[in-house]
A = this chain, B = another copy of it.
Amino acid sequence: MKLICEGLELSDAVLKVIRATATRTTNPILEGIKLHASEDTLTLSATDLEISIEKTIPADVKIAGEVVVPGKFFADFVKKLSNEQIELSLTEENTIRIKYTDSEGYLQCMNADEFPIIKEIYSPEKITIKKVELKKLIDKTVFSVAVDDARPILKGCLFEVENNEITSVALDGYRLAMVKTSVTSTADKLSCIIPARSLNEISKLLNIDNNEETIDILVGQNHLLIVDGSIKILTRLLEGEFINYKQVIPATTSTTILVNKEQLEDGLDRASLLARMDKNNLVRFDIREKILTLTSASNIGNVTENITISLDGKDISIAFNARYLSDCMHTITDEFIKINFTSQIAPCTICPAEDENKYLYLILPVRIVD
């Protein structure tokens, strides 16, 4: 293998694919980046066996070939060469020579034969979606996935397609996030569960030039593939049945409030300062007529926030883990939101004041003694 490429393009590509390398592994090849030179391109790829990221850049290839370089070190080194033209060549001792200006580095490499083969997807279904909408589907739900391993299926988001609408759902037993948007799809009905880690990488790597640009998501039996220009992201799907999330959402409501999202977020922020000193992280809501009173207390003090609301239904007192509320406030961009309550021990739901179908957050309360 021997080629010349631009430092800036190489370092950009390395920093993208390195996100797929395994960080805590006993198999060093999963910490590596595979370089594959052929015709007039250099293809870099990395995988931790769950997600694979591949990027192709132009290169003046003198001798085709492939090799696996140690990922972290190669990335650090190449990052410091963004301004240079770089010559990469494989020596007979299986080291790669990185030549730039009058200087050079040599790095021990691994054999490309030992690198895992990145799966092909056979006869996949195709979902076409606007890139901005895909990013929203991910960013507005993925924070609600379960983080512990008790139910591995909950460590991913459910993507469900039906009637040209896609729904993304994440839940962890204490809260649920659900976002919908329109798509076109080759399948009438389709569902798959995508690991949260892969979704986070997809969201970060999506290259959005304008709001109308669309992208194809290819869904196979066990894998999902996204091709965005010169970047290919392939992820394994989680296997198993997702929870029947629809039955978790309360059918009835006894109290609905309309509140300015920013006011609620700011109030929660301040109340959280005290709430989080306690492991329960408790914020209490007292809803009376036109006022929502947020209170939190710890041994060093207490905070009382009064927020003007419009109320439909009965007064209610209820308490929540402040973090779950703050998490979903941070993702909401609407000016006004609706919060629905059923009872002190039933989950509340949060949705936009306009277009209630766009998203829904659900949070379980913490039991309080009056």
Contacts and interface: CB of A to CB of B under 8 A. Distances in A.
B302 A267 contact: no
A174 interface: no
Contact of A103 (B95, B102, B274, B306): B306
A273 B103 contact: no
A76 B267 contact: no
Interface in A22-81: 70, 73, 76-77, 80-81
A108 B298 CA distance: 10
Contact of A107 (B95, B105, B301, B304): B301
A73 B300 contact: yes
A227 interface: no
A106 B303 CA distance: 6
A104 interface: yes
Give me the 9 closest cross-chain CB pairs, A-B, nearest first: A107-B301, A105-B303, A103-B305, A102-B306, A108-B300, A106-B301, A80-B270, A76-B273, A106-B302
- Determine how many copies of this chain the complex contains: 2
Contacts of A73: 273-274, 300-301
25 contacts: A70-B300, A73-B273, A73-B274, A73-B300, A73-B301, A76-B273, A77-B270, A77-B303, A80-B266, A80-B269, A80-B270, A81-B270, A102-B306, A103-B267, A103-B303, A103-B306, A104-B303, A104-B304, A105-B274, A105-B302, A105-B304, A106-B301, A107-B301, A108-B299, A108-B301
Contacts of A273: 73, 76-77, 80
Contacts of A274: 73, 105
A300 B28 CA distance: 13
A70 B81 CA distance: 48
A81 B302 CA distance: 16
A220 B299 CA distance: 42
Contacts of A107: 300-301
A322 to B, nearest CB: 13
Interface in A224-272: 266-267, 269-270
Contacts of A106: 301-303
Contacts of A76: 273
Q: Give the most central of A76, A102, A105: most B CB within 10 Å.
A: A105
A266 B77 CA distance: 11
A48 B50 CA distance: 50
A253 to B, nearest CB: 27
Nearest to A302: B106
A360 B105 CA distance: 31
Contacts of A105: 270, 274, 301-304
Nearest to A305: B103
Contacts of A81: 270
Interface in A269-288: 269-270, 273-274
Interface string A112-145: 0000000000000000000000000000000000
A95 B267 contact: no
A108 B306 CA distance: 21
A306 B81 CA distance: 15
Contacts of A267: 103
Interface string A292-317: 00000001111111100000000000
A11 B328 CA distance: 27
Given A102-B306, A103-B267, A104-B304, 16 more contacts: A73-B300, A77-B273, A77-B303, A80-B269, A81-B270, A95-B301, A103-B270, A103-B303, A103-B306, A105-B270, A105-B274, A105-B302, A105-B304, A107-B301, A108-B300, A108-B301
